[in-house]
Structure 1
């Protein structure tokens, strides 16, 4: 025993006496008594069969609505197709496809949640943790649990509800199948053919992007870079984006002694002026960074580098082939013009190619 400052005895309190005062309540600090589970409150659908039937009918309606939305999605793909002549048609196509797919998935989700919340058995349980060995007893118990879950959920008993869910889920992938299947159409040109044909042709002038001003050879000084499109492109309405994506070109001028041209390509340049596709041969990003001192072109997406002095061969990065070169010359007025279209496909190399271009 110890004494306090007034000479009184001090003693250690027992565990049952150690309490903490919180207002008027005294709570033991050594632990608490398990209060158990709260009293079960039955749902309306547990006590009223008519309410349960109404909920069941509504869930069935949601599943059939999902099925109808899936059918609508497939129909919308053909009712509002993407018109190659009108890029604005993409808006209607995407909007109605998105609405149909969203509605079909959302109604399945809402229906499944309502099924579990209002119709499946509602009782509390405590499940002890145990090791997960796959013993025969464990497997037998798992079978019992699945059988019990089937009985309590009504999955095997509520046939119309179950079949509605199965039908809606089975129909859900159909829009995706239709969309992906339509990517292949024997009547459409192969990607390599589309990429091999651009607006460049013999005598087409090189004009500045985006203002469309023709470029004279005398305008291109050593070290300068011009972003170029074919003359007439800006006059297009529907095909402008598609054609521009294929036809954009970078125009540069180098000292002629720096060019290391192959014999059959020496006529493709004009007094050190060269033109190359701006579309990277890796994944199609715009190659727009030019290092004047090294004469390298850099793709900012994945850092592929091309050497302009040697027909834009790849010197670094994941690009699989050089940038396609546009053969150029000048017309009678001194303006730069194309000699022909590109002699090889532009764009990424991952497109399946059926031609052999030895250029």
Structure 2
């Protein structure tokens, strides 16, 4: 089985770097990913944070589509409970019209930020995750012009009237997302980089309980994992130390002005608890030389019964990130 590789980029901001530089790096990475042979390039939605500049995937995707030629570009993902499914459908129909056959619409139910961002995004109403399945169904109806006659809005069209449809992906890090994706007959991407526990069982449920739909005849699945590659294991560990410290800072609510340098991470005095947290967080990551990364990715492919893996990388030095993805591509693509 030939393994396809894709990229999710969160437009991370390093200490001392501007958000403008981070967004510019995302564009350069997308162009490089296309050249190297990656299948998809997705961008994320995060709010109210110094560390991640990707807050509006729809806007960023339009620019990325214009700056690339054939790689699929998509959202990883749009946090649907915040938004009108009708407006999301129109946004992505515009994108599909601009880049036909190249747009992925990944959706999730997470807030994408702290509670105050959720309040700001839902100013006049309460964000209700319980209606997420209904919102996904409504989004599909608009994308496929499939509103039932019983719907009071029957006949409503999501503009523009384009010839192709964005590929809708269900994203998640919990069993609920796997259950919903299987029930609705949609592609499913498990976020191993967010949750290091239970993913294999979630994916097994999705595959074993998949219900064929008008959108998909058989299961289509991916797994997304943090990956840091360098020419040697030692160098990969040095680069990865930045994200080790970043995760500790996030978990403990420490103030962050972006991804710390390896030098800062290496000199940090970790408590025994923090060292255990790093060990636990490494379940979400693969770190090493190209051959080790290849072996780990092939193992993940078998475990998750998938022919496509999405890689996520956060480094202090953007050149380290470029080198990581280039080395993996040289080894596997």
TM-score of the alignment, normalized to the shorter chain, above 0.5? no
The higher relative CO (CA closer than 8 Å, separation ≥ 6) is in 2
TM-score (norm 2): 0.21
* Structure showing greater Rg: 1
Between structures 1 and 2, the one with greater helix share: 2
